[in-house]
Amino acid sequence: KSFLYKLWKGDVSSKMLNPRLQKAMKDYLNTNKHGVRFKGKRNSRLTGDQLFCEVKERVNVKTIDGKEAPFSTLGWEKHVPQIPLDKLYAHGFGSCAVVMSAGAILNSSLGDEIDSHDAVLRFNSAPTHGYEKDVGNKTTVRIINSQILTNPNHHFIDSSLYKDVILVAWDPAPYSANLNVWYKKPDYNLFTPYVQHRRKNPNQPFYILHPKFIWQLWDIIQENTKEKIQPNPPSSGFIGILIMMSMCDEVHVYEYIPSVRQTDLCHYHELYYDAACTLGAYHPLLYEKLLVQRMNKGLQDDLYRKGKVVLPGFRSVKC
Ligand code: C5P
C-alpha cells in the first residue's frame, strides 16, 4: 500500500520516509539545539477519544502576559493586550477552519467551504488574494513565527496580510522555558518588533505564545509516539490546531493530513518543492499528523478528497 494510504490509516513510521529526511531527523536528534530533556514515558497507546481527553486536560493556551521576569521588569504589562487571547471572544466560535499552507490545497475548490466557517486561521505569509477559489478569503487569526517579524522580505510592518486579524507570534525557546534565557537569545529577535508594533497598533490583538505552551504540546506528541521525535517545537500548524480547539466548538483542518492531491510543492503560494514541508525535518511534523489523524472525527472520504480532519473543540466534549 502507498505511503499516503498508510498515513490516512495512521500506520506509518519514519523508516518509510526518504533517506534524506531520515538523516535530517537523526541530525536534529543528535544536535538537540533546544536542550530537550524528556522525563515522561513514550508510546502510551491511548485511543482517539482518550487522546483527545488527555490533550484537553493538559493543554493550556498561554501567552506572555508581562507578569513574569524579565517581561515584568521591562514593563510589558502595558505592552501586551489588556484582554487575554482566551477572553477575546467570550463565547468562542462555533465552527472554525484551520487552513494549512500546503501546495496540495491548489485546485481543491475549498474556498467557499472554508469561508463558511465562523473563524478562519491561517499561517505566516500565506496569502488569500489570487487563491480565493482554493483557500477562501476570510482570515480571523494569523499565526506567525519569529522570522516573519524579523525578515524584511515579509514586510511585517506594512503588508495587509498582518492587518485586521488577531496575530499570534511564537519563537523556539529553550525546553526549560526559562524566559530570561529566551529573552537574551531568541531564535529570531521578535521582542523588539513586537513592542514597536504594539505601540503603533494598540487596538490590534497581538500575542506572543508562552514557551511553556509550545513545549507542553511537544511533550504530548512524544508521550503518544513510539519513536523518538525531533527535539524541536511542533510546527505552526499543530500549534494553530490546538489554539482553535480551545476557542471553537468544532475545528475543520484543511490539508494537514495530505489529500489525494499530495505534492512536494511546499506552499500553494510559492514555487518551491521539498517533501520536508509535508513530512517534517526540523519539526516533528509526521508525528503531529499521526496524532491528529487519531483524533479525527470526520468522514474518511473528506480526508481523502478534501484533506480534511474534523476535531471537536475542548468545550464540546465531556471527558
Ligand atoms: O510553512 P508554514 O509553517 O508557514 O506552514 C504552515 C503550516 O502548514 C506548517 O506549520 C505545517 O503544519 C503545515 N504544512 C503542511 N504541509 C506543507 C506545508 C505546510 O502540513 N506542505
Query: Which of helix, strand or coil describes residue 313?
Result: coil
Residue 286 Cβ < 6 Å to ligand 1 = no
Nearest CA to ligand 1 atom 7: 237
283 Cα nearest atom in ligand 1: 10
184-227 tens-digit pLDDT: 999 999 999 999 999 999 999 999 999 999 999 999 999 999 99
Read off the amino acid at residue 96.
C
Q: Which of 83, 135, 120 is nearest to 261 (CA)?
A: 135
Structure confidence by residue, pLDDT tens digits, 158-187: 999 999 999 999 999 999 999 999 999 999
Mean of per-residue pLDDT scores for the chain: 97
List, for residues 83-111, the tens digit of each pLDDT value.
999 999 989 999 999 999 999 999 999 99
Share of the chain above pLDDT 70, in %: 100
CB distance 124 to ligand 1 below 6 Å: yes
Ligand 1, atom 18: closest residue by C-alpha: 102
Read off the pLDDT of each residue in 291-299 and give the average, rounded to a whole number: 98
User: Which of 257, 300, 267 is closest to 4 using CA atoms?
Assistant: 257
Cβ–ligand 1 contact at 296 (below 6 Å): no
Residue 225, φ and ψ in degrees, nearest 5: -130, 140
Residue 262 Cβ contacting ligand 1 at under 6 Å:
no
- Give the Å distance between the CA of 102 and the centre of ligand 1: 6
Distance 82 CA to ligand 1 centre (A): 30
Residues in CB range of 81: below 8 A, 6 or more apart: 198, 205, 206, 207
Domains of the chain: 3-316 (3.90.1480.20)
pLDDT band for position 27 (50/70/90)? very high
Spatial distance between the Cα atoms of 48 and 271, rounded to a whole number of angstroms? 36
Of all residues in the chain, the percent with pLDDT exceeding 90 is: 98
Instruction: Please tell me if the CB atom of residue 237 comes closer than 6 angstroms to any atom of ligand 1.
Output: yes
314 lines ligand 1 (CB under 6 A): no
In 3D, which of 319, 311, 265 has the Cα closest to residue 289?
A: 311
Nearest CA to ligand 1 atom 11: 237
Q: Which atom of ligand 1 is nearest to the CA of 124?
A: 4
**C-alpha R_g of the chain:** 19
Task: Evaluate the omega torsion of the peptide bond into residue 284 and state whether it is cis, within 30 degrees of 0.
Answer: no
Tell me the sheet residues that pair with 265.
Answer: 273
pLDDT at 39 > cutoff 90? yes
Cα torsion angle, 239, 240, 245, 247, sign = positive
- Cα–Cα distance between 125 and 80 in angstroms, integer? 23
Report the nearest atom of ligand 1 relative to the CA of 126.
4
**Residue 56, SS3?**
helix
10: cell is 495512521
236 Cβ inside 6 Å of ligand 1:
yes
In the DSSP assignment, the letter for residue 252 is: E
- Which has the closest alpha carbon to 313: 121, 111, 55? 55
- Contact in structure between 95 and 250 (CB atoms under 8 Å): yes
For ligand 1, say whether the CB of 235 is within 6 Å of any of its atoms: yes
* Whole-angstrom distance, CA of residue 96 vs CA of residue 94: 7
246-276 tens-digit pLDDT: 999 999 999 999 999 999 999 999 999 999 9
Residue nearest to atom 9 of ligand 1 (CA): 237
Grid cell at residue 259: 489529500
Residue 295 in contact with ligand 1 by CB distance below 6 A: no
User: What pLDDT, on a 0 to 100 scale, did the predictor assign at position 90?
Assistant: 84
**Ligand 1 neighbourhood includes 179 CB (under 6 angstroms):** no
Pocket test for ligand 1, best of 21, 101, 161, 238 (most atoms within 8 A of CB): 101
